[in-house]
Chains A and B, each alone.
Chain A
Amino acid sequence: MDALQIRNVSKSFGENKVLSDINMDVRKGEVHALIGENGAGKSTLVKIIGGIYARDAGEILIDGEAVDFKDPLQAMRMGISIVHQELSLVPNATVAENIYLRREITNKAGFNDWNKINQQAAEVFQRINLDVDPTELVGMLSVGMQQLVEVAKAIALNARIVIMDEPTSSLSENEIPDLFRVIRSLRDQGISIIFISHKLTELFEISDRITVLRDGEYVGTVDTAASSSDEIIRMMVGRHLGDLFPQHASQIGDVVFECRGLSLFGRAKDVNFKIRRGEILGLSGLVGAGRTEAMRALVNADKRSSGQFWMNGEEITIENPQDAISKGIYYVSEDRKSSGLFLNSSITWNVAMASLDRMKKALGMLDQSKMRQTAEGFIKTMDVRPADQRVNTGNLSGGNQQKVLLSMALCTEPRLLIVDEPTRGVDIGAKSLIHKRLREIAEQGACVIVISSEMPEIIGMSDRILVFRTGHVSAELDNLRGSVTQEEIMQKATHN
């Protein structure tokens, strides 16, 4: 009897279908890896299993019995525990208290029996062979140790199925063996583990079977021992049909911008690159690999720890985003809603926002008619719908919001445009229009940096590709003829 069976599970958010007909079986006492590109639906699936989201269709069976969780607590009681990617521990409480939150051991008077709590926590750590002092404050532990405490918290209440969402992402190289030791000892005790990771080397080291998801669909399950990383990569990327991209650069000029030794404390280290006139440079890598962080540090939106820049051969300083914009460098955020657009303001204000200095009349009064004209112009060239400059951007569809956000950047006439996930959650039509516009801007002599987690987009758009892994640039690939393959990028992004 399989410990967990997932039968034809589907889930949509609004019109967006994120999971369709997922099937997966997890045996008792196995480590089952779940893998897929960013946005393949892994996290959604995990949240459905853990009772955080409700499924739209399908069945979940535990030990052959159909279950239907209304909240996470119910799932926990049925023996399902999730180790979330973000830590859920409180730094000012002890390790033991964090483990036993809401299932405290109390004495007859109803007070916490700290001795017993500490003792039991110590037993949990003994069970998984870990040397942690239960009375230590969690805030005093290293991040890696905290991650292991999360695991302990998950198994403390006789969990039968433990789901770990990228548990190694915040561990350092010498902490990972500790985690794997814990996982193996859990497996040997008959506990099933669902292990989510991007890192193929890890999956091959720890898992018994691997299930691959792609674009919210189930691709297949393989025995780890009988498979190879090439096979898994092929299953992950598959064939993306119908994506048409504009031509690559017709002509690449001289170096326009150069970045040397760019670092952001704790996030990105020693990033170097040059970019030439008319070129589109793609930044690829897994989420959290430091692409966004490095570009935010470039415009000093987050205070960088080091970095030198040259524009047209002259060294320049970049004090803050305002300074960057005045020197022709514009960073477009990856999250149009929380850090890109002003959702309660009209298209006009959004388009003009970064260029208000050029929208002034006498005495610094704003020239609203000029702003309107500018907005009208961009509505036309970017095909924003509805074509009404008075509409608040909060009422536009995702694709049109993205077009307005790009217009805000283009309005400043940048020489180096950095776009972060320019087509995330955008419909096909808007997507190809944005791709076309980006190429046109490059052909007109600007430099463009595209950050994208979507591999076809990176390969289709970029003339050159930088691959990031754990805060570093791990590879630089020439793609002027579109010859780089997804497998090649995935290899550089996941392997050491």
Chain B
Amino acid sequence: MLTTLKKKLKTGSVLQAVGLTVIILLIGITMQVMNGNFLSAANMEVMAMNLIFEGIMAIGMTFVIIGGGIDLSVSAVFPFAEIIVAKLMIEAGLPIFPAVLITLALCLGIGLINATLINVLRVHPMVITMGMMLTLRGINLAITNGKSIAGFSDDFLFLGQGTFFGINLPIVFFLFAAITLGYLLKNHPYFRQLYFIGGGERAARLSGVKVEQVKTVVYMLSALLAGIAGIMAAAQYGAAHWSHGNLSELKAIAAVAIGGADVNGGSGNVFGTVLGIAFLAVVHNAFVSSGINTFWYDAVNGLMLLIAILFSKYIERKNARAVLSAKQMKLDESGGYPKANMAEQRA
């Protein structure tokens, strides 16, 4: 038991998860001591709701990043879903169910386009998803003329504002998605392939992994989650607006990276991402409740991302060093060319 624990601690990701939990608790305790209301149920809920939509996107981003990719377009898919569902319900008068279904189908289509372009053009996913983000954001702006759309039915608003056993629905969905997708990622052979793709596409292909197909599925999953987040957000805010979700891709990536995933692919898990988003939420809340200028928040997010990728690099270097050390041992034991012999040859 103790040895397996020790063994696990040696790997960077577990160490990072433990460290992260400790830091989150420390911040929480400090805030509680200073302000006294940090651990109140009301504050906990505020804290959880604050980054809940970024959290849902971050789950999809975890899959994408483990597979060696990145999806910047989620921050535009999010308001896109808000707007489409609003247009379908308020302007076209569709009932909830078909409206939501059509919206999600469109989001899946966006993921499919992302993946297809990435697979066919073989360009870095950043570029493709950035172009997609820009295009979608422009479309969002254009089809709404920059105005927000409001006037949802109460039934729809329930999706964002209602509760389930006293917990807000978006939080329920986040937990549900984190647990099911986390379980799938951990245990389903299909999603396990992601680790092999992210670890080395060439080797994965040699072992029979269908790289393109798996990538397509995860980009569609990422877009789908961003779409669900968008629909819930529309219900939560009671309005759809094109500027919602700006920079949310950054928070999602930061959460994944802080949660211990390698930004170059091959490692990470949903639990880490949940910790990462919890960390960001706690930091945000600390800024709000301690009266520090909340505008610091963006700056801190950027800093967190930088620190997370630096840490990721550090782990990578450490691993490379370990491989070289093994080779060095081999060099040391195989012994050099005897000096005396060399002199003899010269003479």
Contacts and interface: CB of A to CB of B under 8 A. Distances in A.
Majority secondary structure, B binding face: helix
B266 interface: yes
Contact of B337 (A52, A87, A473): A473
Contact of B206 (A52, A174, A267): A52
Given A97-B192, A104-B192, A139-B319, A90 B266 contact: yes
Nearest to A52: B206
A43 to B, nearest CB: 14
A140 B323 CA distance: 10
B324 A101 contact: no
B206 A72 contact: yes
Contacts of B93: none
Contacts of B188: 110-112
Nearest to A272: B342
Interface string A452-496: 000000000000000000111111111000000000000000001
Contacts of B192: 93, 97, 101, 104, 112
Contacts of B323: 143, 266
Contacts of A88: 200, 203, 206-207
Given A52-B206, A101-B207, A139-B11, A92 B327 contact: no
A476 B208 CA distance: 46
Contacts of A104: 189, 192
A173 B333 contact: yes
Given A88-B206, A91-B199, A93-B195, A269 B331 contact: yes
B209 interface: yes
A101 B330 contact: no
Interface string B253-287: 00000000000001100000000000000000000
Interface string A80-105: 00001011111111000100011010
B274 to A, nearest CB: 19
Nearest to B328: A266
B327 A143 contact: yes
A359 interface: no
Nearest to A471: B331
Contacts of B206: 52, 72, 84, 88
Contacts of A270: 336
B72 to A, nearest CB: 24
B345 to A, nearest CB: 5
A140 B324 contact: no
A136 interface: yes
Interface in B5-62: 7, 10-11, 13
A185 interface: no
Most buried by A among B267, B326, B334, B337: B337
B337 A470 contact: no
A112 B185 CA distance: 10
Interface in B174-196: 187-189, 192-193, 195-196
Contacts of A142: 326
A73 interface: yes
For the residues of A in contact with B, the DSSP-based class is loop
A92 B7 CA distance: 13
A268 B337 CA distance: 12
B337 A474 contact: yes
B329 interface: yes
B325 interface: yes
B208 A102 contact: yes
A446 to B, nearest CB: 23
Interface in A120-176: 136-137, 139-140, 142-144, 170-174
Contacts of B326: 142-144, 172, 266
A52 B203 CA distance: 12
A424 B337 CA distance: 28
A242 to B, nearest CB: 31
A268 B330 CA distance: 11
A73 B187 CA distance: 23
Contacts of B327: 143, 170, 266-267
A91 B326 CA distance: 15
Given A97-B192, A101-B207, A474-B337, A91 B330 contact: no
A470 B330 CA distance: 9
Contacts of A317: none
Contacts of A101: 192-193, 196, 207-209
A180 interface: no
A73 B209 CA distance: 9
A409 to B, nearest CB: 29
A114 interface: yes
Say which size band chain A's interface belongs to.
Answer: 35 or more
A473 B339 CA distance: 10
Given A137-B11, A266-B324, A92 B199 contact: yes
A189 interface: no
A326 to B, nearest CB: 29
A477 B337 CA distance: 13
A296 B335 CA distance: 22
A334 to B, nearest CB: 20
B326 to A, nearest CB: 5
A391 to B, nearest CB: 27
A174 B334 CA distance: 10
A92 B195 contact: yes
A472 B196 contact: no
A76 interface: yes
A72 B206 CA distance: 7
A140 B336 contact: no
Interface string A252-292: 00000000000001111110100000000000000000000
A228 interface: no
A136 B7 contact: yes
A106 interface: yes
B207 A102 contact: yes
Interface string B304-338: 00000000000000010001111111111111110
Contact of A90 (B11, B200, B325, B335): B200
A265 B196 contact: no
Contacts of A90: 195-196, 199-200, 203, 266
A90 B192 CA distance: 11
A266 B325 contact: yes
Contacts of B337: 472-476
Contacts of A496: 334
Contacts of A139: 11, 319
A269 B333 CA distance: 11
B207 A92 contact: no
A269 B266 contact: no
Nearest to A492: B337
A266 B345 CA distance: 28
Contacts of B333: 172-174
A104 B207 CA distance: 12
Contact of A106 (B189, B203, B330): B189
A269 B336 contact: yes
A171 B333 CA distance: 12
Nearest to B203: A88
A123 to B, nearest CB: 19
B130 to A, nearest CB: 25
Given A97-B192, A102-B189, 20 more contacts: A72-B206, A86-B203, A90-B195, A93-B192, A101-B208, A102-B193, A104-B192, A112-B188, A140-B10, A143-B323, A144-B326, A172-B326, A173-B334, A265-B324, A265-B328, A470-B330, A472-B336, A472-B337, A475-B337, A476-B345
Q: Which 3 A-B pairs have the closest CB atoms?
A: A266-B324, A88-B203, A90-B199
5 contacts: A88-B200, A88-B203, A266-B326, A267-B324, A470-B334
